[in-house]
Amino acid sequence: MATFKAIRIDKADKGTTAALTQFDEAELMDGDVTVRVAWSTLNYKDGLALTGKAPVVRRFPMIAGIDFAGTVEQSSHPAWKSGDQVICTGWGMGETHLGGYAEKARVKGDWLVGLPDGLSAREAMAIGTAGFTAMLSVLALEKQGVTPQSGPVVVTGAAGGVGSVATSVLAKLGYHVIASTGRAAEADYLRHLGAAEVIDRNELSGAAKPLAKERWAGGVDSVGSTTLANVLSMTKYGGAIAACGLAAGMDLPGSVAPFILRGVSLLGIDSVMCPLTARKAAWARLAQDLDRPKLSEITHEIGFEQVMEMAPQILAGRIRGRLVVKIS
């Protein structure tokens, strides 16, 4: 039986180990579509899994990687045939199902989305789970009625993967974007993406007041914890915040005051088990609304062999924009 290159995570006496190695095709999990993987990305969750900093992986051995783009090799699913270009994100890949850091993947056909017209596989993974999550957040804000006319919107963790795409998309749609970052050196980068203002994350890092001065009509938060509590306390009457990350923690040390006194909405964004209809809508909008030249500018390509060394960097907040991984 054939083997292929993959980043394999195994259980160890203390924690886990991860290494680029050969993986036996016979060990691939059940699925009705086999894909030759061309590109993947390095996301925050991938960093947690590869370093063992959090219990992301729930079965062993595991192939890391929560997303991929590639070409269908074999399919018994009615929607897909050999040669189709596809994208897969979420669904427990890299956690409970063998993931995308491999030259080959086998998944359920219902998990796949066709590559949108005009979008290359590399561009799709330059967007990746982070960009997909950012677009789900934008769609949620629109559904809640937050428009450019509603007032400014804030993006936290703005220089990261989710934040960079959210900033770019919201700016292109006409929103006045306030980008929050802990890296002052990234101010010019964020303004180039379209941010109208750049603020220091320290403005959102102190203990949150039940209600603070109203500053924005909406926002996309990938940080969580105290940052999200402060963002909510500063949201205008009737505004909404899309919460999609936990870089600073899973807690929410805030108050119900924004919800019951200002009618603020907290919109939960899940990109893992997101229904297929929402996935298709998000990818269609990404193909339409994301500035391709800017996507190229925020994207850095790394080889398969560099994934392990870059994982700690993304956890430390040292990665700007998106890292796309060339698999094969």
The Cβ-side half-sphere exposure at 58, using a 13 Å CA radius, reads 5
Q: CA–CA separation, 216 vs 232, rounded Å?
A: 9
Q: What is the pLDDT of residue 204?
A: 97
Q: CA–CA separation, 43 vs 127, rounded Å?
A: 11
Q: What is the pLDDT of residue 55?
A: 87
Q: CA–CA separation, 152 vs 176, rounded Å?
A: 5
How is residue 277 written in tokens?
């209809």
Residue 243's nearest CA partner among 212, 215, 264 is 264
How is residue 10 written in tokens?
């195994």
How is residue 246 written in tokens?
């936990």
CATH superfamily of 129-268: NAD(P)-binding Rossmann-like Domain (3.40.50.720)
CA 96-98-104 angle, 5° bins: 165
Q: What is the pLDDT of residue 208?
A: 96
Q: CA–CA separation, 178 vs 74, rounded Å?
A: 46
CA 107-113-117 angle, 5° bins: 140
Contact 221, 239 (CB under 8 A): no
Give the DSSP per-residue string, 185-224.
GGHHHHHHHT-SEEEEGGGGTSPPPSS----EEEEEESSB
Paired with 185 in beta bridges are: none
Contact 293, 132 (CB under 8 A): no
Of the candidate CATH numbers 1.20.140.10, 3.30.470.160, 3.40.50.150, 3.90.180.10, the domain formed by 3-115+298-326 belongs to 3.90.180.10
The pLDDT of 286-291, averaged and rounded, is 92
Q: CA–CA separation, 263 vs 114, rounded Å?
A: 38
Of the two residues 188 and 55, the one the predictor is more confident about is: 188
- Quick: pLDDT tens for 41-78: 999 999 999 999 988 999 999 999 999 999 999 999 99
- Rounded to 5 degrees, φ, ψ at 252 are -140, 85
Q: Is the pLDDT of residue 1 over 70?
A: no
Q: What is the pLDDT of residue 5?
A: 96
Q: Write out the residue limits of the CATH 3.90.180.10 domain(s) in the chain.
A: 3-115+298-326
Q: Which of helix, strand or coil describes residue 22? A: strand
Q: Write out the residue limits of the CATH 3.40.50.720 domain(s) in the chain.
A: 129-268
Q: Are strands 216-221 and 235-243 parallel, antiparallel or unpaired?
A: parallel
Q: What is the pLDDT of residue 328?
A: 82
Q: What is the pLDDT of residue 51?
A: 94
Phi-psi domain of 325 (left: phi exceeds 0; alpha: psi -120 through 50; beta: other)? beta
Q: What is the pLDDT of residue 13?
A: 85
- Quick: pLDDT tens for 193-229: 999 999 999 999 999 999 999 999 999 999 999 999 9
- Rounded to 5 degrees, φ, ψ at 145 are 95, 10
Q: Say which residue the tokens 């982070």 belong to.
A: 130
